[in-house]
């Protein structure tokens, strides 16, 4: 301890001063290196800020494009929905038309059957009418014959009798 006390305050001060000078040099070097790196860091930070700003602009453009794409998607989906609804309505209409066509086919078949039935009836009636016309014609001829016979009986006084053979006998 005597050694410590033996040191003079001047020596102590010089020793402390040399320690301080070394520390000041280290701090000065640190400060110099910071000062040297500051513009580079500032440039780097500025470049990062510009990149971030550009990315923000790109992001805004992408958001706008996304909104446009969403709007277009909504329009396309609406158009698709309208087309599907129209398609369903068309299918329903086709089904209804097919049902009506089938109903018409059945009606046509019934009408054809009726037509055939009526055709058969008309054919039978035609044959009956032809027979009737023939009989009527024969009756008319017979009426004319009876009229002629009556005339001969009244005017001439003849009487004609028919028999079972080819001719008849007539009496004057």
Using the predicted structure, report yes or no on whether residue 145 has a pLDDT greater than 50.
Answer: yes
The pLDDT tens digits for 24-55 are 999 999 988 888 888 888 888 999 999 999 99
Note the pLDDT of residue 1: 43
pLDDT in tens, 55-75: 999 999 999 999 999 999 999
Q: What pLDDT does 151 receive? A: 78
How much is the pLDDT for 37?
A: 85
Question: Distance between CA 56 and CA 53 in Å, rounded?
Answer: 5
The structure's pTM equals: 0.41
């Amino acid at each position: 301890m005597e050694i410590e006390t033996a040191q003079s305050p001047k020596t102590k001060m010089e020793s402390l001063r040399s320690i301080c000078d070394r520390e000041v040099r280290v701090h000065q070097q640190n400060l110099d290196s910071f000062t040297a790196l500051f513009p580079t860091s500032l440039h780097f930070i500025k470049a990062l800020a510009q990149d971030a700003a550009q990315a923000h602009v790109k992001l805004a453009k992408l958001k706008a494009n996304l909104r446009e794409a969403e709007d277009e998607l909504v329009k396309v989906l609406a158009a698709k929905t309208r087309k599907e609804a129209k398609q369903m309505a068309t299918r329903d209409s086709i089904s209804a038309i097919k049902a009506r066509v089938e109903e018409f086919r059945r009606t046509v078949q019934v009408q054809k059957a009726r037509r055939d039935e009526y055709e058969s009836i008309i054919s039978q009636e035609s044959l009956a009418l032809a027979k009737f016309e023939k009989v009527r014609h024969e009756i008319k001829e017979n009426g004319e014959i009876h009229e002629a016979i009556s005339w001969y009986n009244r005017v001439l006084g003849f009487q004609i009798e028919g028999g079972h053979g080819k001719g008849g006998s007539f009496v004057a």
